[in-house]
Amino acid sequence: MAQKFMIGELARRTETKVQTIRYYEEIGVMPQAIRAANNRRLYDETHLERLTFIRHSRELGFSLDDIRNLLALSDQPDRPCNEVDAIARTHLDNVESKIASLQVLQEELNRMISHCSGGKVSDCRIIKVLADHSLCQGHE
Amino acid sequence: MAQKFMIGELARRTETKVQTIRYYEEIGVMPQAIRAANNRRLYDETHLERLTFIRHSRELGFSLDDIRNLLALSDQPDRPCNEVDAIARTHLDNVESKIASLQVLQEELNRMISHCSGGKVSDCRIIKVLADHSLCQGHE
DNA sequence: CCTATATGCTACAGTCACTGTAGGAGCAAG
DNA sequence: CTTGCTCCTACAGTGACTGTAGCATATAGG
């Protein structure tokens, strides 16, 4: 029988907050943990693997909903992996469009800041641009 | 006396949801609107300008907290604009670091997807990488 | 005058992925 | 026996909205 450990150890080994693990159980991405006689949650290596998967996927920006689907798929090793691929590609698309729109923001912020003369608020280019969308790039 | 109009018109002219305007009033970034005899909110051009400023700042990714500060500063035209500048620069820093971390994700997702052979889930590189952080770039 | 549609109002719940807090119980070491 | 650590449940808070329920009011058409 495998070694069991409590939530604190699982939290330490996965660098996850204890509350976060309980939250994952509550919303069903982690299974209901078996309880010891004193009502404390008991885990083994399979839980550690599952939580590692979840945390790594979160680091890569997948939503918990995506992760739920990825976990369900990884439990069915014989199915083709197109669905896994589709989830990852959709997420990549989202990441790419987020990068693109942040780069537009970045340019606009740079433009605003570089035009600021360091004088009084009444002359501040930043305030002017914020007040008037037409001063933005591409609107002159 | 200036022309007054109701929340629906303000919403249309700023492309903002009516609820969002009421929300801005509730949290104090928009002033408490004067009410007509029938209890409806009345606005004029100054409200339109303020809301335009807020919406444009939001589009550029400023938090409502930042916007509150920017609005307070823009109401004091004689003060030097270093504080405005500082808010904008801090925000730009945040945008830039967000871009950088999304680019790391983008690369990793690309790597994962390109290694996926299109076979069965049990052989899927995407699932393997998610389960094992050490397969990530820089960890081999 | 009646009705349909549009708009307004308040108040509250839901989103996402946690994080924090209150209040209590159990257990080991000193 | 007390101190300190970990565990438990239950609930509130975050940011920036968005949606819904249930009601009142206003305007236009028939």
pLDDT tens digits, B33-81: 999 999 999 999 999 999 999 999 999 999 999 999 999 999 998 898 8
CATH topology of domain A7-79: Multidrug-efflux Transporter Regulator; Chain: A; Domain 2 (1.10.1660)
Q: Does the structure show a pLDDT above 70 at B121?
A: yes
Q: What is the pLDDT of residues A31-54, one digit of tens each?
A: 999 999 999 999 999 999 999 999
Confidence of residue B22 (pLDDT cuts 50, 70, 90): very high
Q: Do B109 and A88 touch (CB under 8 A)?
A: yes
Per cent of chain A over pLDDT 90 is 74
Q: Could you say which of 1.10.1660.10, 1.10.520.10, 3.30.300.30, 2.40.33.20 is the CATH number of the domain covering B1-79? A: 1.10.1660.10
CA distances from B88 to A43, A109, A111, A122, B80 (A): 47, 7, 11, 16, 14
Protein CA at A24 to nucleotide C1' at C16, angstroms: 13
One-letter amino acid of A38: N
Q: Is A110 exposed, middle or buried (0-12, 13-18, 19+ CB in 10 A)?
A: middle
Q: What is the ipTM of this complex?
A: 0.83
Chain B hits for A14, CB-CB cut-off 8 Å, are none
